[in-house]
Amino acid sequence: MSSDRLIHATPAPLSQAGGDVVLIVDDMPDNLSLLHDALDEAGYTVLVATDGPSAIARARQARPAIVLLDAMMPGMDGFEVARCLKAGTDTASIPIVFMTALTETEHVVAAFAAGGVDYVTKPIQPREVLARIAAHTQTARVQRQARNALDAFGHATLVVRPADGRLLWQTALARSLLRDYFGSEGSAAPVPLIDWVRREAAARRAGGIAQPWVTARGGRRLTLELHPMESGDEAGAPGGLANEPGQDEEWLIVASEANDAAVIEAMMAAFRLTAREAEVLHWVARGKTNRDIGDILGLSPRTVTKHMEHILPKLGVETRTAAAGLVLNRVGRLLGPVRG
């Protein structure tokens, strides 16, 4: 196959491909031809690019199942291409296998740091490449099916890597909730979310238990729970590289939302409170401390204390315990099960 036909191949949408789509990125026509023929014979749909910008454009358009990426190219090298792909919401989950003649440790480490899942050394051995592709596309396929299933059942689920604050994947509902509660878009996880993950991950590594995080916006309440996933720290890094604790950890977050608007409105009417006072009292009734309430509502503990100074006289009680009891008696049915 001629290099001209390879270079100008038109990216086909993934849904129209006969098999898994593989994007090969290399500035050497001989390498492109060798890999194209081997992959085509194995039943893959092959796309090619000879430079970084073209590779990024074709990956965004075609959403390949995997990218074979030359590490050393003129202009934009493979490491920069990989970082760009991992930074994009639409391309972050695509596995990248580096192709390189550089086997020194620092280059291998750079490949994984840029987002690669594996690497093969030049001169390329097609059978080895096919074996690596089969393994990584199968893993990616299982993950994609899991994401689709979560979307179908309305679960808000996401995976983050706290080492670099990267949001690796998310369901559609999770994307919507992150936008609503944190105003975030793209592949970078919200800073407060990453701070919580890092704190709770460290607690788990020390033998503790990760605590859920609750944040609220008006009457809406978002609860996030953290779950560990197998990572390089547990299974060993690709290529046999040792990692520092926590370096490559990935964490699964399951988010659930409740709407307390009815409770807030009932408390405002029953006790003649402002919306903010009702929110504070709502969390007092749930057994939260001023510091907890401040974290949930985005207030300082001192501000929460000031609100309580206005709330107690309105309720005609002197202590927060009495205030909580009054709330449970008046609107306990709407409040539902109370957990501290």
Q: Which of 188, 168, 4 is nearest to 96 (CA)?
A: 168
Residue numbers of the chain with a pLDDT score lower than 50: 1-18, 231-243, 245, 339-340
Residue 127, Cβ density class (10 Å: 0-12 exposed, 13-18 middle, ≥19 buried): exposed
Q: Do domains 3-144 and 261-335 have the same CATH topology?
A: no
Q: Which of 6, 2, 152, 143 is nearest to 65 (CA)?
A: 143
For position 87, what pLDDT does the model report? 82
For position 143, what pLDDT does the model report? 74
Q: H helices within the chain, ranges in order?
A: 3-7, 29-41, 52-62, 78-87, 105-113, 126-152, 172-182, 191-205, 232-235, 261-271, 275-285, 290-297, 301-315, 320-335
The class of domain 261-335 in CATH terms is mainly alpha
For position 284, what pLDDT does the model report? 92
Q: How far apart are CA 176 and CA 80, in angstroms?
A: 29
> Residue 116 is inside which H or E element, if any?
none
User: Quick check: 20 and 44 in contact, CB under 8 A?
Assistant: yes
Residue type, 303: T
Residue 96, CA distances (Å) to 36, 82, 160, 270, 272 in order? 17, 7, 18, 59, 59
Q: How far apart are CA 72 and CA 205, in angstroms?
A: 37
For position 1, what pLDDT does the model report? 44
For position 334, what pLDDT does the model report? 60
Q: What predicted TM-score, i.e. pTM, was given to this entire model? A: 0.52
Q: How far apart are CA 105 and CA 122, in angstroms?
A: 16
For position 11, what pLDDT does the model report? 39
For position 121, what pLDDT does the model report? 86
Q: How far apart are CA 227 and CA 204, in angstroms?
A: 10
For position 14, what pLDDT does the model report? 37
Residue 39, CA distances (Å) to 20, 93, 301 in order? 10, 21, 61
For position 138, what pLDDT does the model report? 85
Bond prior to 123 in cis (omega within 30° of 0) = yes
For position 332, what pLDDT does the model report? 67
What residue segments make up the domains of the chain, in order of their start? 3-144, 154-214+223-251, 261-335
User: Quick check: 14 and 62 in contact, CB under 8 A?
Assistant: yes
Residue 259, Cβ density class (10 Å: 0-12 exposed, 13-18 middle, ≥19 buried): exposed
The class of domain 3-144 in CATH terms is alpha beta
For position 21, what pLDDT does the model report? 92
